[in-house]
Amino acid sequence: MRQDIMTDTHSPAGCPQGQGDELDKAARGRRRPVYLVLALLAVAIVLGSVFWLAQQYAAAAESRRAADRLTLYLSTLVSALEEHQHLPFILARDPLVIAGTDGSENGELNRRLESFTDEAGVDAIYLMDQQGLTIAASNWSEPKTFLGNNYGFRPYFKAALTGLRGVFFAIGATTQEPGYFIAEPVYGGPGRIAGVIALKVDLTPLTRAWREGGETLLAVDPRGIAILASNPDWTYRTLSPLSDDVRQEIAAERQFGNEPLEPLDIAGGPGEVTIDGVRYLQSVGPVGHLGWKLHYLTPFDRINGQARQAVLLTAAVLLLASVAFLLVRTQRIRTALFASQQQRRGLQQLNRRLEAEIDERRAAERRLELAQKELQKVSKMAALGQLSASVTHELGQPIAAMRNYLATAELPNSGIDGEARELVDHLNGIAARMEHITGQLRFFARAEPKKLDRFDLRDVVAPVLELMEPDLAAAGVEWSQEVDDDPLWVFGDALRIEQVLVNLIRNALDAVSDTESPQIRLRLTRDGEMARLSITDNGTGMDGEVLARAEDPFFTTKPSGTGMGLGLSISASILKEHDGRMEIANTPEVGAVFTITLPVCDETGDTQQVGDASL
């Protein structure tokens, strides 16, 4: 029953629970690697998407940042280029400078130019005559002085000679150091250019600052030559191979000294370039009026680094979420398990209650069955009582008359003797048996309640024995008895208890009739609150059916006319009236033992009113 309740709810149709579980488990086992692969695939897709999105986002952010940085570096470069552009203009109007154009002794001018150089923080200031010969220079005292050198080939000189301001970037022809040159014409008189004053600005601090700032910048002139670069290897390299014309032009101006002007290992479009195998995000801006372009390069590594960080962060979040999910799931499973255990316990309790109820119901059914049997017995006995009453009544008179006639016939002067007397004796026997039968029937007929008195059960034994003595002797039975020394007080009708005892001894006599050395034993003892009286014989004993049915009214194994099958039934009824009972059993060896038990009452016990004595 318990199993039904426990298993029916979850068992798959047509499949026993245990087997269903095994199948489920096996199926789950097979599906597990698939789930794992799917989960890993999902994680890979999520992380890939995150990487891609983060890369896009970082690229957009970096390109915004690059635009800002480019603007900043453009302004610093332009300001570095323009910072000193007015100085030559002013110097060109200095009387000492103008006076110096005639090539006279310029010792004072040299010193003045030297002090201006120091003050302005430029590389050098120098004055050239109309042919480009340097006639005064701030570095007059240095070994690599410009003095005496002719720079007439430089475009800035040529421009100044035409009255314009000349600007030019070149590697110094004398010092071999790069610089930005600014030149202004020096007028000796109205409209007469007597010389050119020029200054050289060192731009290397700028590139150093780029490098130290961790930035990647490239300033390229209109011909695609990298003039300034944060990476020294890129300086004087070209974005594309130079044509021969351009190379000749450069050689004429001696702009880049002996630099080979090799092309850079560069590829890519305007937004993205790869230089020397490294990918960069590129932002380009024009540098003032020079036609230069400044390239601000952001290594893709930085963008990828940010994307990688985002992926790591996402992975960490996913991991944390998975851990949290697993924790919550574990908690839920634990709770569900607890709940199911509770439910199981509840079901077990319910099962136990059901089992108890079923047991109770079975016991009740058994009681009912017994009660029904009892009722049948009672109704049989009641019917028997009525029948007995009328039979004893109807037969009583004729038997009494017969007895009288027979008594008269037995008188000495009746004249009956010989065979007739034998017949009278025979009839007397028949009448006695008839009386015996009606006597038994009368027992059933008696309906009035009986007053029971307290009596010593031991007192019943003697009269019964006296009554049975002749029969016992006739049957050659070895009688033995064991009676308690103390009184055994019981309530009841002593005569009826005697009747029970007579019944039992008579049955025992019948049972031992074919036994070689018949024995009957009476035992009367006290067992706690009960008086126990047993009659044991070494007779036939009883088989199973006889044992079960011995108490049934009219059940007998004796030949017709010998037994009516009422003795035990009556005895049981009598004992029941006395709150006693009878146990019937076979002895371990041969024969049967009938034990009656009656409640013992104390000596001061009152008499007791009992019900219908005849049932």
Q: Site mask, ligand ADP, residues 450-489, x = CB under 6 A?
A: ----------------------------------------
CB of residue 559 to ligand ADP, shortest distance in Å: 10
Task: Note whether 511 binds ligand ADP by CB under 6 A.
Answer: yes
Which residue from 557, 587, 595, 608 is in contact with ligand ADP, where contact means CB under 6 A? 557
Task: Note whether 582 binds ligand ADP by CB under 6 A.
Answer: no
CB of residue 537 to ligand ADP, shortest distance in Å: 5
β-strand 216-220 against 226-229: which pairing, if any? antiparallel
Task: Note whether 519 binds ligand ADP by CB under 6 A.
Answer: no
Task: Note whether 537 binds ligand ADP by CB under 6 A.
Answer: yes
Task: Note whether 556 binds ligand ADP by CB under 6 A.
Answer: yes
Neighbours of 36 (CB within 10 A): 10
Task: Note whether 599 binds ligand ADP by CB under 6 A.
Answer: no
User: For residue 246, what are the CA distances in angstroms to 151, 156, 242, 579?
Assistant: 20, 18, 6, 143
Task: Note whether 586 binds ligand ADP by CB under 6 A.
Answer: no
- 414-453 binders of ligand ADP (CB under 6 A): none
Neighbours of 527 (CB within 10 A): 10
CB of residue 557 to ligand ADP, shortest distance in Å: 3
Contact 37, 285 (CB under 8 A): no
Structure tokens at 389: 């009453």
Which residue from 172, 195, 518, 539 is in contact with ligand ADP, where contact means CB under 6 A? 539
Contact 234, 245 (CB under 8 A): no
Task: Note whether 540 binds ligand ADP by CB under 6 A.
Answer: yes
Neighbours of 238 (CB within 10 A): 20
How far is it, in rounded angstroms, from Cα 159 to Cα 165? 6
CB of residue 450 to ligand ADP, shortest distance in Å: 22
CB of residue 360 to ligand ADP, shortest distance in Å: 34
What's the DSSP call for residue 263? B
Which residue from 63, 314, 507, 597 is in contact with ligand ADP, where contact means CB under 6 A? 507
CB proximity list for 137: less than 8 A, separation 6 or greater: 110, 113, 124, 125, 126, 127, 145, 146, 147
Task: Note whether 187 binds ligand ADP by CB under 6 A.
Answer: no
CB of residue 505 to ligand ADP, shortest distance in Å: 9
CB of residue 399 to ligand ADP, shortest distance in Å: 20
Task: Note whether 100 binds ligand ADP by CB under 6 A.
Answer: no
Task: Note whether 508 binds ligand ADP by CB under 6 A.
Answer: yes
Task: Note whether 500 binds ligand ADP by CB under 6 A.
Answer: no
β-strand 489-492 against 134-137: which pairing, if any? unpaired
DSSP per residue over 281-342, as a string? EEEEEEETTTTEEEEEEEEHHHHHHHHHHHHHHHHHHHHHHHHHHHHHHHHHHHHHHHHHHH
Count how many Cα atoms sit within 13 Å of the Cα of residue 560 in the half-sphere of its side chain.
0
CB of residue 432 to ligand ADP, shortest distance in Å: 17
Task: Note whether 546 binds ligand ADP by CB under 6 A.
Answer: yes
Size of the site for ligand ADP (CB under 6 A): 23
Contact 401, 573 (CB under 8 A): no
CA-based nearest residue to 83, from 199, 195, 161, 209: 199
Which residue from 564, 585, 590, 610 is in contact with ligand ADP, where contact means CB under 6 A? 564
Choices 89-97, 223-231, 303-311, 565-573 (CB under 6 A): range interacting with ligand ADP: 565-573
How far is it, in rounded angstroms, from Cα 445 to Cα 388? 5
Q: Which is nearer to ligand ADP, 22 or 545 (CB)?
A: 545
Among all chains, which residue has been given the structure tokens 């949290």? 324
Task: Note whether 490 binds ligand ADP by CB under 6 A.
Answer: no
CA-based nearest residue to 223, from 235, 207, 239, 234: 239
Q: Site mask, ligand ADP, residues 27-66, x = CB under 6 A?
A: ----------------------------------------
Q: Which is nearer to ligand ADP, 153 or 554 (CB)?
A: 554
β-strand 489-492 against 592-599: which pairing, if any? unpaired
Q: Which is nearer to ligand ADP, 412 or 588 (CB)?
A: 588
CB proximity list for 77: less than 8 A, separation 6 or greater: 206, 219, 228, 287, 294
Which residue from 567, 580, 598, 601 is in contact with ligand ADP, where contact means CB under 6 A? 567
Task: Note whether 534 binds ligand ADP by CB under 6 A.
Answer: no
Choices 99-107, 210-218, 321-329, 532-540 (CB under 6 A): range interacting with ligand ADP: 532-540
163, with CB counted inside 10 A (0-12, 13-18, 19+), is: exposed
Which residue from 20, 152, 563, 599 is in contact with ligand ADP, where contact means CB under 6 A? 563
Q: Which is nearer to ligand ADP, 550 or 613 (CB)?
A: 550
Choices 15-23, 312-320, 486-494, 555-563 (CB under 6 A): range interacting with ligand ADP: 555-563
Sign of CA dihedral 156, 159, 160, 166: negative
Structure tokens at 286: 């024009």
Choices 163-171, 252-260, 292-300, 548-556 (CB under 6 A): range interacting with ligand ADP: 548-556
User: For residue 141, what are the CA distances in angstroms to 124, 181, 182, 592?
Assistant: 12, 20, 22, 156
For ligand ADP, the binding residues (CB under 6 A) are 503, 507-508, 511, 537, 539-542, 546, 550, 555-558, 563-569, 592
